[in-house]
Amino acid sequence: MTLTMSRPSAPAGARRGGALTGTGTLLRFMLRRDRVRLPAWTLGIALLMAYFVTALRTVLATPEDLRGMAGFSGSPIGALFGGPGYGYDALTIERFLAGQYGLYILVGAGLMSVLTVTRHTRAEERSGRAELVRAGVVGRHAQLTAALTLTTLMNALVALLIAGLMSGSGFDGAGSLLFGAAVGAAGLAFAGVTAISAQLFEYPRAASGLAGAVLGAAFVLRGIGDMAATHGSWLSWLSPIGWSQQTAAYVLDRWWPLGLSVAFAAVTAALGYLLSARRDLAAGLVPPRPGPATAAPWLRSGAALAFRLQRAQLIGWSLALLVAGLSYGLFTQPVIDGFADAPKELLAVMGGEEDMLAGFLGLMGLMMAFTVAVFAVLSLQGLRAEETEGRTEPVLATAVGRTGWLAANLAVTALGVLWLLFVAGLAMGVGAALSTGDAGLLGELVAGHVAHTPAVWLVLAVAALLYGALPRALPLVWLIVVYGMIVGFFAPILHIPDSAVNLSPFEHIGEYPLEDVSVPATLALTALAVLVAGAALAAFRRRDIICT
């Protein structure tokens, strides 16, 4: 009936439309596109929290365990990687979960928002799809509005899931609801930030990169603030992550800091709308920076190109390992104190009670070896992507030989492995020396890390062989890394037989300083790596290049 009644005026009214026309349709379309991504993100964050709950309940089973944790987490290092430390004088599991591990859930929600908003705004414009959409009956602000609505829905879902999970785990209902809301509010704040950054740059990666940098700055600001004073200082209050943590769920249960988050989200989103009205579709407010018109003189060989293509990754990994190494290193003393009365199984992984320090440092070296092995595999996968995306073809059509091309790439990665293990050992060593006051640890840690190089080289060589012979099978190399991790970390707990343990290339060199470095193993692994790499080159020489 209404339809019939309004029909005479419909043409004029419907034709005019507003800046928001089409928002609903776009939102439904985004939900359809994200039908896998949306549950993956929201459930993923909830599952991470569920994991924390289960793990901490196992590790911190007794009040004594909790008291031991409180001392460790209340330290400045604990505050940097945890939070302002509300309620640590009478620590409970839920206070510890919200106060120490909640930080990573907040960061997760922030990342989810940054990537979701970018995906549905700037990435759409960059791909040209937004042009098609905007040519339809769609208002100027519909896309941004629909993207922000979607992100708000996702954050609300995360908030509800976390709240439900926590109260379902038997924790206080009101506190659980507040904790969930704090997670959602942090997510909203970074959706607002991304609404601005998406207007600035033409490239999705630049837009999400800037928003990600703001997220990182928010993390660091509240970290410094929380280290400066118990319950945080004024610096903590400059960070959207800080606001969520200042709700002090399960302790003070105050809601008002979330008002700051919501206001921040509203103001940033409004600014995003304002900026988007001042630019053309697909253009950025910051014009793209031109690069050099000519290549640097050194960029003139296959090896130089291999280095140039891996340079950004090498710098990024170096920085990440530097930060990770330093922070793990700085944890050395608190960890040893904190775990002094941990369960026997946990101690066994670290090398036993007698030599906790050497055990912890040796284990860290092994962990860094796995991390650098991930770098090695990713770099080979990058090489495969170069080929499948059609960039290897023009290079091999020049006077660059196949063998030389693959050898150069492997050499760059192999040297990168050595360099990254050195950086990780150095950072770990500096941190551990500062933490324990024992300067001798610096040299031990550098040696202990670098010693793992041949094992990682063997992983790299196997990856190269798969790439050279059967590129589609390249992901199989992850099996070695994962198997090595399981054996390396859990062999004592899982009672894995020695014969199975010895299958892992990471188990032969020795976890220095707990164990001695085995020279025969080092030589044998290096020789094996060289042999396998040689086979990889021979196989690559014989196969067809993948052409699109």
Q: Which of 327, 349, 543, 322 is nearest to 421 (CA)?
A: 322
In the complex, the smallest distance separating the C-beta of residue 400 from another protein, rounded to whole angstroms, is 5
The single-letter DSSP state of residue 401 is -
Stretch that binds another protein, among 65-73, 370-378, 389-397, 411-419 (CB under 8 A): 389-397
For the segment 267-296, give every residue that binds another protein (CB under 8 A).
288, 290-296
CB of residue 210 to another protein, shortest distance in Å? 17
CB of 126 to another protein, least distance (A): 9
Q: In this chain, which of 280, 354, 498, 544 binds another protein, going by CB under 8 A?
A: 544
Q: Does 508 bind another protein (CB under 8 A)?
A: no
For another protein, the binding residue among 399, 437, 495, 499 (CB under 8 A) is: 399
Select the span of 210-218, 322-330, 356-364, 383-391 touching another protein (CB under 8 A).
383-391
Answer for which of 224, 252, 271, 309 binds another protein (CB under 8 A) is: 309
Report whether 221 contacts 238 (CB < 8 A).
yes
How many CB atoms are located within 10 Å of the residue 543 CB?
Answer: 13
Residue 545 lies near another protein (rule: CB under 8 A): yes
Pairwise CA distance, residues 214 & 217, whole Å: 5
Nearer to another protein, 295 or 473 (CB): 295
Cα 356 versus chain centre, distance: 29
Q: What's 97's DSSP letter?
A: I
Q: Is 400 in the site for another protein (CB under 8 A)?
A: yes
Options 391, 482, 527, 538; binder of another protein; rule CB under 8 A:
391
Q: What angle do CA 77, 81, 86 make, to 5 degrees?
A: 85
User: Per CB under 8 A, which of residues 513..542 are in contact with another protein?
Assistant: 542
Beta carbon nearer to another protein, 13 or 290 = 290
CA distance 383 to 371: 19
**Contacts of another protein in 76-105 (CB under 8 A):** none
Please give the Cα distance from 404 to 264 (Å, whole number).
55
Tell how many helices (H) and how many strands (E) occur in the chain: 26, 0
Q: CA-CA distance, 164 to 63, in Å (whole number)?
A: 25
Residue 393 found at the interface with another protein (CB under 8 A): yes
305 touching another protein, by CB under 8 A: yes
Does residue 301 bind another protein (CB under 8 A)?
Answer: yes
Which of 216, 223, 215, 264 has its CA nearest to residue 245?
223
Span from 178-186, 343-351, 353-361, 393-401 in contact with another protein (CB under 8 A): 393-401
- With binding defined as CB under 8 A, does residue 395 bind another protein? yes
Q: Measure the CA–CA gap between 221 and 79, rounded to whole angstroms.
A: 12
Q: Which range, of 3-11, 55-63, 400-408, 456-464, touches another protein by CB under 8 A?
A: 400-408
Cα angle value 248/228/177 (rounded, 5°): 10
Choose between 200 and 348: whose C-beta lies nearer to another protein: 200
CB of 411: closest distance to another protein in angstroms?
A: 17
Closest contact distance (angstroms) between CB of 4 and another protein is: 44
- Tell me the angle at which helices 173-200 and 204-228 cross, rounded to the nearest 10 degrees: 130
Q: Nearer to another protein by C-beta: 59 or 285?
A: 285
Q: Nearest to residue 377, comparing CAs of 299, 305, 484?
A: 484
Query: Of 4, 152, 71, whose CA–CA distance to 339 is shortest?
Result: 71
* Interface residue list for another protein (CB under 8 A): 202-203, 288, 290-296, 299-302, 305, 308-309, 312, 389-391, 393-402, 542, 544-545, 547-548
